């Protein structure tokens, strides 16, 4: 399966602004600067789809993208399906007039508690920093809320082979989920097939 079309739909800050209809959703969440925008662009093979800020804490809205995926069922048959990719605000960093402080936007909790069409939430963990307390807080909150989770480990290209296995082991221990974490590099597109496969399984079985 692969994504064949992606386009920006809308941005919201509260539940009554979420798009109507019954299109199913896959959400992406992570600490600011974890590499979420880069991963969305890589996954959709679309350079400017999500804004790569370089400026942590910038995206403060929930952004919806219309996605069309295609899967070859046999040599002559294919299946196409539509879904929303939901880009949630990054957490853990906010520049305020009192300096920098930790932030878990209320939009995130509101979205998770109100979204009836959320099929999977991809929680992004920076491969170099698997033990950030704020990620554990986020994970625990999501598990408590009963959200189906996929851990995606970002910036894989920055890790040595040794770091890869050590940090993956740590991540499996800290953030247990039904399916193993997916190692992703947005630079090299490592993990793209696996993540598209996982999304496909969740959406169409």
Enter the DSSP assignment of 17. G
Contacting range for ligand GDP; rule: CB under 6 A; set: 49-57, 107-115, 167-175, 194-202? 49-57
CB of 93 vs ligand GDP, minimal distance in Å: 9
Enter the DSSP assignment of 47. T
Regarding 53 and contact with ligand GDP (CB under 6 A), the answer is yes
Regarding 34 and contact with ligand GDP (CB under 6 A), the answer is yes
- Between the CA of residue 21 and those of 18, 94, 132, what are the distances in Å? 10, 33, 37
Q: Which of 21, 22, 48, 54 forms a contact with ligand GDP (CB under 6 A)?
A: 54
Q: Which is nearer to ligand GDP, 92 or 203 (CB)?
A: 92
Q: How do 2-12 and 62-72 pair as beta strands?
A: antiparallel
Strands (E), 13-116: 25-30, 62-72, 78-87, 94-96, 99-101
Regarding 63 and contact with ligand GDP (CB under 6 A), the answer is no
Regarding 157 and contact with ligand GDP (CB under 6 A), the answer is yes
Mapped onto helix, strand or coil, the DSSP state of residue 170 is helix
Tokens linked to 39? 């991963």
Q: Which of 1, 26, 29, 38 forms a contact with ligand GDP (CB under 6 A)?
A: 38
Q: Could you list the residues that contact ligand GDP (CB under 6 A)?
A: 30, 32-38, 52-54, 56, 90, 154-155, 157-158, 185-187
């Amino acid at each position: 399966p692969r994504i064949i079309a992606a386009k920006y739909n809308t941005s919201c800050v509260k539940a009554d602004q979420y798009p109507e209809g019954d299109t199913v959703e896959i959400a992406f969440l992570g600490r600011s600067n974890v590499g979420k925008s880069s991963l969305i662009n890589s996954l959709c093979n679309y350079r400017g789809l999500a804004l790569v800020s370089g400026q942590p804490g910038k995206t403060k809205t929930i952004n919806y993208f219309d996605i069309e995926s295609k899967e070859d069922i046999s040599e002559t048959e294919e299946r196409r399906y539509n879904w929303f990719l939901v880009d949630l605000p990054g957490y853990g960093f906010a520049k305020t007039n009192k300096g920098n402080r930790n932030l878990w936007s209320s939009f995130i909790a509101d979205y998770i508690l109100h979204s009836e069409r959320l099929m999977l939430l991809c929680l992004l963990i920076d491969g170099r920093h698997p033990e950030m307390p704020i990620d554990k807080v986020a994970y625990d909150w999501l598990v408590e809320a009963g959200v189906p989770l996929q851990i995606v480990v970002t910036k894989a290209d920055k890790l040595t082979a040794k770091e890869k296995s050590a940090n993956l082991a740590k991540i499996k221990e800290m953030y247990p989920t039904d399916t193993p974490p997916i190692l992703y590099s947005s630079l090299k597109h490592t993990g793209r097939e696996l993540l598209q496969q996982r999304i496909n399984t969740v959406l169409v079985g």
